[in-house]
Structure 1
């Protein structure tokens, strides 16, 4: 249940404007599937059967999509070079920033605060 709550909270994020090209190119245009969620010290793997149903896409034009429980939510995103983070704004105007903790061609780890706890979402590129 916490896993679904966290993934749904991801729908509260998204942004646009000033994007660093090299990191933006690695992030954008790909479907990133959720592989694990961590709250504090507790890390939960996303079951393989649910990984195709939980994903994020960062479009180069600043649009962001999140799919959780077969419900696609959109918003905007913006990369902050100074803070090495992604700032999100949802369709409903809610804002959230996530620290870019790891970024490679195959994996993306985003850190954020959730209910006063450190949290992370581990994502892998769609193959």
Structure 2
């Protein structure tokens, strides 16, 4: 199960990277990718992380929703062309690793939220 999730994430990240380099991808999709990356990297959040439980919800909920929205903005012709190309195996391995790291980060964030909640309630 985990392999399918990480492969799907890796495939979509690869498609997004390739689509960013394609002239047919709308400028606003490219701008949203840059804004999403800036939000992920930025220490400033919509909901501060130090607030128990809800602090991590913006990353857990907002990032996948925006990512899915950006994915839908990419024209189908671009997606089909990118998917039909042969992908370099080293690039695929690297992206699978990125997918694994993203899934692990998500689980780490969930566990952190639960631990912080338990500390607030029971300690």
TM-score, with structure 1 as normaliser: 0.25
Kindly indicate which of the two structures has a greater share of residues assigned to strand. 1
CA radius of gyration, larger in = 2
Q: More helix by proportion, 1 or 2?
A: 2
